[in-house]
Amino acid sequence: MKPAAPVAIVAAMHEELRALLDAMPDERRVVRGGRAFYAGHLEGREVVAVLSGIGKVAAATTATLAIEAFGAGAVLFTGVAGGVGEGVRVGDVVVADALLQHDMDASPLFPRYEVPLTGRAAFPADAAMSGRLAAAAAAVLADAGELIGREHLAPFGIEAPRLHRGLVASGDRFVSGAAESRALCAALAQAGHLPLAVEMEGAALAQVCHDFGVPFAVLRTISDRADDSAHVDFLAFIREVASRYAAAIVRRFVAATGG
Ligand code: SAH
């Protein structure tokens, strides 16, 4: 990462961005491409915070602008996701090692899931950045009762949240059915891909960062199990749990980032 360049912090949800802005003392609001970027400081480190919106296109334009218009030297994405891996439960956190688009299919011209002309399906996250992010997440989860507040975790049945690292699958679809989730995972498994979580932005951001040669990492709090009850309490979970996790983890991560 270029040491003098700001870290872009891309949030998928308004509530998550809000929690970060509350911790930024001097942010300057600049609108580009219809989205508001907040350039300033977090934990004494230069950052630019922005709401990506939902879906792959929104994530791609946001990442492009963060890099090209705001000179971001690294991109951190924070959001929620549906847990599909075994033992990936609501309230757990996933740090992506790699991301792929589960709705990319140019077969038979290219293997299913491969992004045409790139020769790859999965885009690896930056190892050093993801390592720092995982360390920050582990520290927050180990003390979640104190740092987040037991009263916020208990209503969602969260007792001992865990950190997972692995593949995250993105697509322009809110996966909200057990049968749908099973079919998606079975098809991915056939191609050798075993995702821990599904969401709607990460792999697009990964592809953009890869194209620009900018390191990135993706943090996802598990909000649902991508099953028939995926929509239940979704917004309450983001407000009560995910936004608090995100703020605590991102602040710790940024504080540990040099420059
Ligand atoms: N009802 C919500 C819609 C959110 S869409 C609203 O009104 O704001 C879901 C968002 O959460 C996306 O940003 C996606 O990345 C993530 N997400 C969480 N669970 C998901 C799931 N089961 N499938 C796909 N995306 C999911």
Number of domains in the chain: 1
* pLDDT at 87 > cutoff 60: yes
Domain ranges, residue 246 = 7-256
172 is catalytic: no
Q: What is the average pLDDT across 53-72?
A: 97
Based on the number of CB atoms within 10 Å of its own CB, is 256 exposed (0-12), middle (13-18) or buried (19 or more)? Answer: middle
Ligand 1 touching residue 171 (CB < 6 A): no
Q: Which of the 8 DSSP states describes residue 115?
A: B
Q: Say yes or no to pLDDT of 95 above 60.
A: yes
Task: Examine the pLDDT at 94 and tell me if it is beyond 80.
Answer: yes
Q: How many other C-beta atoms lie within 10 A of the C-beta of residue 157?
A: 9
Site to probe by mutation for ligand 1, drawn from 80, 180, 225, 232 as the one with most ligand atoms within 8 Å of Cβ, is 80
Cβ contacts of 112 within 8 Å, gap of 6 or more:
104, 105, 187, 191
Asked if residue 250 has pLDDT above 60, the reply is yes
Residue 118 placed within a domain? yes
- Mean per-residue pLDDT of the chain: 94
Q: Do the domain assignments include residue 232? A: yes
What are the tens digits of pLDDT across the range 104-124? 999 999 999 999 999 999 999
- Give a yes or no: residue 47 inside a domain: yes
Looking at the chain, the whole-number percentage of residues with pLDDT higher than 70 is 98
pLDDT for 1 beyond 70: no
- Angle, in degrees to the nearest 10, between helices 127-142 and 243-255: 120
Q: Among 111-125, 136-150, 161-175, name the one with the lowest average pLDDT.
A: 136-150
Mean pLDDT of 58-69: 98
Whether residue 2 lies inside any domain: the answer is no
Asked whether residue 41 is domain-assigned, the answer is: yes
1: in domain:
no
Query: What pLDDT score was predicted for residue 259?
Result: 53
224 catalytic residue (yes or no): yes
Q: What is the reported pTM?
A: 0.95
- Ligand 1 pocket, residue 240 CB under 6 Å: no
- Ligand 1 centroid – CA 246 distance (Å): 16
CA of 4 to the centre of ligand 1 (A): 33
**pLDDT at position 233, please?**
80
List pLDDT tens digits, range 169-228: 999 999 999 999 999 999 999 999 999 999 999 999 999 999 999 999 999 999 999 998
Q: Which is higher by pLDDT, 204 or 245?
A: 204
Looking at residue 44, which CATH number applies to its domain? 3.40.50.1580
Q: How far apart are CA 67 and CA 232, in angstroms?
A: 35
Strand partners, 94: 164, 220
Mutate which of 15, 94, 200 for ligand 1? The one with the most ligand atoms within 8 Å of its CB, which is 200
Environment class of 218 (CB within 10 Å of its CB; exposed 0-12, middle 13-18, buried 19+) = buried
What's the pLDDT at 3?
53
Ligand 1 centre and the CA of 221: distance in Å? 11
Note the pLDDT of residue 13.
85
User: Above 60 in pLDDT, residue 44?
Assistant: yes
